[in-house]
A and B are shown apart, each in its own frame.
Chain A
Amino acid sequence: MCLAVPMEVLNIDGNRAWVSAGGTKREVRLDVIDQRPHIGDYVIVHAGFAIHRIDQEMAKETLKMFEEMFSNEAPG
């Protein structure tokens, strides 16, 4: 039930934003989000509310972690 999906912010109007993912568009509320998003940001959406603005740098960090994990064969 804690299902939540990353969706792209298309438009912001006060306390509400239009977001889209995989061809689905939806209006969500911004009451409980941690950081106010900008158009083009991705937010994690749960039950009609954006709950988290995805930090692109943080997302890249995970992907970079994989690169390092496999480029350096030394353990740890």
Chain B
Amino acid sequence: MKHLDEYRDRELAQRIIERIHASSKKGIRIMEVCGTHTVSIFRNGIRDVLPSNIALISGPGCPVCVTATEEIDKSIKLSREHDVIITTFGDLMRVPGSKSSLQKEKANGADIRVVYSVSDAIKIASNNPQKRVVFLGIGFETTAPTIAAAVLEAKSEGIKNFFVLVLHKLIPPAMEALLSGGDLKIDGFMCPGHVTSIIGASSYVPVTQRYHIPCVVAGFEPIDILQAIYMLVEQLEEGQAQVEIQYKRGVTFEGNKNAMAIMERVFDRCDTVWRGLGVISKSGFKLKVQYREFAAEDSFDLSIPKAKEHPGCMCGEILRGVVTPAECPLFRRTCNPGHPVGPCMVSSEGTCAAYYKYQA
């Protein structure tokens, strides 16, 4: 077992599709929270094989897309400091801020380096003691423990020129914010596999109970997604609202206690702003008092003018699942992957980029 090919079997897929068609009677709307799911759903043509009474709605689960414009503006301000090296995951480079992007700043001479892992950022800091190295800490619960581990490493190794701009965001509070917003009708959640590898499926129990909505944690191969849809259909047809795990090879009910303990050691929860969703209570992280020496906001002046959103860009509504990209007046016209206006077109996992690439 290599844990991939088994979940790409065409015949098995066909049988699950038949099951879904036979079982599904009610009109239902399922939100796939995670951007990696959105891409897999499009790439595998899953929308096309479902009965017409099942609608899949793309959610806010693309970390690049929900990074607020003001957070990009702060990153850009940091990159203009003469002794700073910015280290970042590549996805963030082209996201437009109010006036510029990291990519444009790099073209203008800023020292901005794309890294695969936060470990690379630590190495860059060690190799450049005369510079201050700032890592842009984006990502959900999947990524946050790796950043926490890097902070612990920097502390124990006595690395003084490494800083993190912590921009992490947490998924369960965002799901609650979507449901309490009132403008979105969702019957079931397909929950993100790798976020849940860390936080455990038990994290969704409060959501299922408070809103009577089923949550199924899904893997990322076509069979995984089809099976998760089938599990949601079964629950919804029977009027149930439970947390189930489809992605058993990657997820447990309790989660990864080691990773959660590391996050808890390094971060406190705080309110944070999401593009499109606004400020969500306790949905972000900040470094704890004993690790503030690594907090970029304590060592640099990050005051910026009020962020400006592009007029007409509907990324906010798209991230909430309230409109689809085709309803945005900029989509395919002024906004395309070559010239993205909003973040949902920038990231390969953005809803707009997926619609652009896969939907004729």
A residues at B contact (CB < 8 Å)? 1-4, 6, 8, 21, 29, 31-34, 42, 44, 46-49, 51-52, 54-56, 58-63, 65-66, 69-70, 75-76
Contacts and interface: CB of A to CB of B under 8 A. Distances in A.
Contacts of B259: 32-34, 51
Contact of A48 (B15, B119, B139, B194): B119
A33 B140 CA distance: 16
Given A4-B142, A54-B3, A49 B120 contact: no
Given A47-B117, A52-B250, A63-B6, 17 more contacts: A1-B349, A2-B143, A2-B194, A3-B194, A29-B149, A31-B146, A31-B152, A33-B259, A34-B197, A42-B1, A47-B118, A47-B143, A48-B119, A48-B146, A51-B145, A58-B248, A61-B248
Contact of A3 (B1, B36, B138): B36
Contacts, number: 135
Interface in B43-84: 61-64
A49 B117 contact: yes
A31 B142 CA distance: 13
B91 interface: yes
B242 interface: no
Contacts of A8: 2
Contacts of A60: 1
29 contacts: A1-B36, A1-B89, A1-B138, A1-B140, A1-B142, A1-B143, A1-B347, A2-B35, A6-B2, A8-B2, A21-B2, A31-B262, A32-B146, A32-B262, A33-B256, A34-B252, A34-B257, A34-B258, A44-B194, A44-B250, A46-B143, A47-B116, A47-B143, A51-B142, A51-B194, A52-B250, A54-B3, A58-B248, A59-B249
Nearest to B117: A48
Interface of B is mostly: helix
A51 B198 contact: yes
Interface string B120-149: 100000000000000000111011011011
B23 to A, nearest CB: 8
A47 B248 contact: no
Interface of B: 1-4, 6, 12, 15-16, 19, 23, 34-36, 61-64, 89, 91, 116-120, 138-140, 142-143, 145-146, 148-149, 152-153, 192-195, 197-198, 223, 227, 234, 246-252, 255-259, 262, 347, 349
